[in-house]
Chain A
Amino acid sequence: MLRLIGRRLLLMVPTLILASMLIFALAEVLPGDVGRSILGPYATQQQVDILNHTLGADKPIYERYAVWAKNFVTGNWGHSPVNQTPIASTVMKALANSLLLAGFALVIIVPLSILIGVFAGLRRDSFLDRTITISTLSMTVIPEFVSGVILIWLFAVQLKWLPVSATPPDGANFFERLYYLILPAIPLMFLELGYIARMARVGTVQVLSMPYIRTAVLKGLPRRRVIFGHVLRNAMVPTVTVIGSQVGWLIGGLVVIEFLFVYPGIGQLMLLSAQQKDVPTLEASVLMVAVIYMVANLIADIVVALLNPRIRMGG
């Protein structure tokens, strides 16, 4: 197990280096330049050229990458050339916000979707199974900007039960912050619930058809023990893998939710940085999300290995 973890951690290094190169290259093909972003469309070309020169944006890409990489690995992330804000604190604050929202959403989504999925799997083809499948799938296909607008209109504008924005006032404590996250967490729940519940249902149905389950039942084991001791443990393998892969999206892919609920997360930061050609901020943001994504997948793999010894042995 330790070898597995060590090897996966080591693999992160070349992955992150490759990702950073790719981002630099992709930012290069994006339209515009940082000088034009800062000075706007009405500045003269001479003014833009002067600023690009001052910022070093007119140097060759390999030279800019080398300077950035050296500064990044030595912890000198510098300031955003566009906003003049310190990159490290900007990225970390946005990442912390996204982690809080994703964590809050996952705490609701994971137990609920597993419960629903296993419940449906255990009652395969029943009216309840079909009802659960159809309703969760229906929620999944509603885009988050649609469900988000409807939820805000209903709960914040009409009923005034919940705040319209996900950003709490200054000085809010942890629980107040969670209160502000209830509304944005619901569209995420709609999106993820059906997906994870379906995986849990399929896993449960598959495990239930396995010979060892039949054997356990024929041996006269109590139903509760069969379900919790054998079915759940094995049905969770694909579900955990899916949850691991969804963490990356929940951290960095919530651009629509962040814009709609006015939440300063890492998704919004990445989008704005890309639009403004703010490459140092974009690099730092994407690499942080990449690290979270890889760590989440590693944790998912470890959990899967713990659930299924054959994978552990094979690894």
Chain B
Amino acid sequence: MASEEFKREYGQHLVDQVLKGQMTRRQLLVRATVFGFSMTAAGSLLAACGGTSATSTSSPAASGSAAPAPVMGGSLIGVIPPPIVGLDPVTIYDQGGIVLAQQVAEYLIALNDDNSLKPQLATKWEPNNDGSVWTFTLRQGVKFNDGSPFEAADVVASIERVVNPKSGSGALAALQGILSPGGTKATDASTVTFTLDKPFADFPYLVCQSSYNTAILSRKYNGNFDKPTTAVGTGPFMLKSYTAKQQAVMVKNPTYWGKDDKGNQLPYLDQVTWKFVQDESAANLQLQSGAVDFQPQTVFQGSQALFQDANLRVDIYPGSGIREVAFNLQKDPWKSAPKELRQAVAYCLDRKAINEALYAGRSNLGYDTFWEPTVFPGQPTPPERAQDYAKAKQLLSTAGFSSGTTIELTVAKYLENPQLAQLIQQQCKPAGITVKINQISYDAFYAGTATTTPWLNAPMVIVEWGSRPTPGVYAQAMLMPGVPWSSSHWDNKDFASTFNSYMSTVDETKRTDYATKLSGIQQDDTPILVPFFITQLRTQKKTVYGIQGPGNFYCIMSEAFKTA
């Protein structure tokens, strides 16, 4: 277990990094919270760096700094896509299911807009000296909405449940090789210890809100989260009714533990009704007509009218969602061609034009690496990859395709993926690369087994990924050898060993060095293209304030309210 001395040393180490200019103040804040520093303690570290010690992490729109005083009571109506398969927090994977489950159930740790961490059901957490054992101290006096007390046994049951293959939880794939069954133990009623399979410096992110299947449920939980009597959680709202494909109604949890900065009991609202609308244009019309009050996630395509509506406010939030353009290195031409062929495709892309066409220029550009400082502050800056046809042709020639080549790109008819495929097709043509687009349905794209499903087996694919809180979480999910979600099937030993070192050190100087190396390897070898990181839109009436939630999929309503 980490000692207070270790924490002091680590805190001083972070301050030194900032003073040497090797870390930004924001990055200090993020890293301090990962290692269990409270916001106050992190603020003290910032003060030690000189300047202000302000620790506000929410964007003005999210925190409602320009908002009037909160109004207690009242109700709101939100519009979300219908949950695909209900509300079970253990297996949910879609926006509708995640948004609803997170009103009722909570996590050990919550996430701020800037990806720093804040206590939720755990009040503090700390690693041992190499990050292989993490100890979490739980919040006292919390009750589930059925009146039963929240204890360490509930945490153990919840985490053990998701690492058990029989539960069907998507969290298993992210935790595989990091936390095995039996690795979670209750030391006492308010302390839980996670003994990892290997040191993992970003472990708190794997049990926080962004790892949405790790919701803390009652040890007695046995499914049926879509029924009011069995939807048992510690969250600010309780399920009043759920009608599949139509709506869910949630009412205030009167025994909720949360309070705002001024000590007011949360949540402010008495009720939130969630209308399920599948069609995005129908959802936009619902907003414009005033039939609903807010939409947690608005897609860029077709949302122009919302920006111009005098009654609505569209907030733009930081996000790290991507469209991964993966080259399958087990399939030709990528299997037998050198990396220059992949690099040639990368240099054909006009990323600014893509960002403009798909997101009205509002997203952040990416350069085929996850270590991107505009999205994850403090990361090393990668070399930009501007469109350069001369270089692309030269790379093609080096790869043995001097007279050009034809490649097939498989894409699902989903979100803006088909448009992205067409842009890639247009931009590759002048270099002599003919892109054949194989457009299939969303279901067909994800259908089949691990060895047959197109998203993991087609030669080149576009895969949509929701926001992830760190570059490491992204890399662990899709770039490490043998991981189940790797569409590229990239197996780079240098990257893997560097990544393991990166994840097992708490020395920020070393982490920065490793990050620089990892970013370089990823960009140079180009197993995938990352042309942009998507920012998020949230739409609400101008009378609605206080809705929070970083990235896509998350919508925290405990401090939401509506003025007259």
- What is the interface of chain A, defined by CB distance below 8 A to chain B? 30-33, 36-48, 50-51, 82-85, 90, 149, 152-153, 156-157, 160, 163-165, 167, 259-262, 264, 268-269, 272, 275-276
Looking at the assembled complex, report how far the CB atom of A16 sits from the nearest CB atom of chain B, in whole angstroms: 26
Q: How far is the CA of A277 from the CA of B189 in the complex (A)?
A: 43
Compute how far the CA of A215 lies from the CA of B278 in the bound complex, rounded to whole angstroms. 60
Contact between A164 and B285 (Cβ–Cβ < 8 Å)?
Answer: yes
Minimum Cβ distance to chain B for residue A200 (Å): 34
Given the interface pairs A40-B94, A50-B165, A164-B289, the reply to whether A33 lies near B447 with Cβ below 8 Å is: yes
Q: Give chain B nearest CB distance to A174 CB in angstroms.
A: 19
**How many pairs, one residue from A and one from B, have CB atoms within 8 Å of each other in the complex?**
123
Given contacts A164-B291, A269-B245, A276-B85, contact A43 B166 (CB under 8 A): no
Taking each of B84, B176, B289, B441, which has the highest tally of chain A beta carbons within 10 Å of its own beta carbon? B289
Chain B residues positioned under 8 Å from A276 (CB to CB): 84-85
Taking a contact as CB atoms closer than 8 A, the residue among A32, A85, A167 that contacts B443 in the complex is A32
Closest residue to A274 on the B side, CB-wise?
A: B443
CB within 8 Å for A46 and B291 given contacts A33-B447, A164-B285, A272-B245: no
The number of chain B residues with a CB under 8 A from chain A is 45
Contact B166 A50 (CB under 8 A): yes
Instruction: Name the one of B168, B281, B282, B448 contacting A43, with C-beta atoms under 8 angstroms.
Output: B168
User: Is B93 located at the chain interface by the 8 A CB criterion?
Assistant: yes
Given A32-B447, A50-B166, are A44 and B484 neighbors across the interface (CB < 8 Å)? yes
B448 & A31 in contact (Cβ 8 Å cutoff): yes
- The reply to whether A149 and B281 contact each other, CB–CB distance below 8 Å, is yes
Contact residues in A for B47 (Cβ distance below 8 Å): none
Which chain B residues (436-460) contact chain A, with CB distance < 8 Å?
440-441, 443-444, 446-450, 455
Q: State whether B455 touches A39 (Cβ < 8 A).
A: no
Interface status of B286 (Cβ within 8 A of chain A): yes
| Residues on A with beta carbons closer than 8 Å to the beta carbon of B446 | 32, 36, 41
- 17 extra interface residue pairs, beta carbon distance < 8 Å, beyond A32-B444, A45-B450, A260-B281: A36-B447, A38-B85, A38-B168, A40-B170, A43-B169, A44-B165, A47-B168, A48-B449, A50-B166, A82-B85, A83-B244, A153-B288, A156-B291, A160-B289, A164-B286, A259-B278, A264-B246
Bound together, the chains give a CA A276 to CA B93 distance in angstroms of 14
* Bound CA span A40–B224, Å: 18
B173 near A275 with CB under 8 A, answer no
How far is the CB of B308 from the nearest CB of chain A, in Å?
12
Chain A residues with CB under 8 Å of B288's CB are: 153, 157
Inter-subunit contact B282/A261 (CB<8 Å)? yes
Q: Which of B172, B289, B450 interacts with A152 by CB under 8 Å?
A: B289
Q: Is the CB of B166 within 8 A of A44?
A: no
Residue B275 interfacial (CB < 8 Å): yes
Cβ contacts under 8 Å, A165 to chain B: 275, 286, 291
